[in-house]
């Protein structure tokens, strides 16, 4: 049975102390990719590497029933200011452990052992999928093209995250 594409409303957040709209290559490429796939850009922000500003922005999106997914880029490394996992993970109702595992496995083919420095992660909060990618444009390309685009496409078989959306708030 043929399935029809279901466009989602996706918000994008770049986590950086130095990026602006003019030089936000990673965030802008994510927006280009998701809109080219047929999804809607719900919002786009650039937020500093600050746990509380990240949580505030993501919490606002999680609380908005019109936003189906969030993709962040940046802050997943191991340096002092990299704090995306610490900011976002506490907001999850459930973590999708396989995302980070798969992302690093795929990245290994591209960047070898440097992938161990990535703390990419994903989860779901209030029926909103959240994907946290590294800040490089290459990592965003890998995350979108090899994983996220398929899991946010209702036509992907044997299963995808979109078909689970009606059940995410079940008690």
Asked if 19 and 27 count as a contact pair (C-beta separation under 8 A), the reply is: yes
The pLDDT-based confidence of 169 (bands split at 50, 70, 90) is confident
**What pLDDT is recorded for position 115?**
86
Query: DSSP letter string over 45-113?
Result: EEE-S-HHHHHHHHHHHHH-TT--EEEEES--SSSTT--HHHHHGGG-SEE-HHHHHHHHHHHHHHHGG
Q: Could you read off the pLDDT of 39-57 as tens digits, one per residue?
A: 999 999 999 999 999 999 9
Residue 70 predicted with pLDDT over 90:
yes
The answer to whether the predicted template modeling score (pTM) of the entire model surpasses 0.75 is yes
How do beta strands 121-125 and 128-133 pair?
antiparallel
Residue 3 predicted with pLDDT over 80:
yes
**What pLDDT is recorded for position 1?**
77
Asked if 81 and 71 count as a contact pair (C-beta separation under 8 A), the reply is: no
Asked if 40 and 7 count as a contact pair (C-beta separation under 8 A), the reply is: yes
Token pair 């796939």: residue: 37
Tell me what the pLDDT averaged over the chain comes to. 95
Q: Could you read off the pLDDT of 19-36 as tens digits, one per residue?
A: 999 999 999 999 999 999
CATH class label, 9-164: alpha beta
**What pLDDT is recorded for position 42?**
98
Q: Could you read off the pLDDT of 100-158 as tens digits, one per residue?
A: 999 999 999 998 898 888 999 999 999 999 999 999 999 999 999 999 999 999 999 99
Task: Summarize the confidence of residues 67-82 as an average pLDDT.
Answer: 94
Asked if 14 and 24 count as a contact pair (C-beta separation under 8 A), the reply is: yes
Q: Where are the domains of the chain?
A: 9-164
The three-state secondary structure class of 116 is: helix
**What pLDDT is recorded for position 2?**
87
**What pLDDT is recorded for position 6?**
96
Interacting residues of 10 by C-beta distance below 8 A, sequence separation 6+: 34, 39, 40, 41, 42, 67, 68, 69, 70, 71, 152
């Amino acid at each position: 049975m043929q399935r029809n594409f279901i466009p989602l409303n996706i918000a994008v957040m770049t986590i950086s102390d130095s990026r602006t709209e003019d030089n936000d290559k990673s965030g802008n490429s994510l927006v280009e990719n998701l809109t080219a796939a047929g999804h809607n850009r719900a919002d786009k922000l650039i937020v500093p590497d600050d746990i509380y500003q990240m949580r505030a922005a993501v919490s606002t999106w999680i609380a908005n029933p019109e936003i189906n997914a969030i993709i962040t880029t940046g802050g997943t490394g191991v340096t002092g200011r990299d704090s995306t996992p610490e900011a976002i993970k506490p907001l999850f109702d459930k973590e999708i452990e396989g995302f980070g595992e798969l992302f690093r496995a795929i990245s290994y083919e591209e960047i070898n052992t440097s992938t161990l420095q990535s703390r990419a992660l994903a989860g779901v909060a209030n029926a909103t999928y959240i994907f946290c990618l590294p800040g490089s444009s290459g990592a965003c390309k890998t995350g979108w093209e090899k994983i996220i685009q398929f899991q946010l496409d209702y036509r992907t078989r044997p299963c995808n995250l979109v078909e689970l959306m009606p059940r995410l708030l079940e008690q």
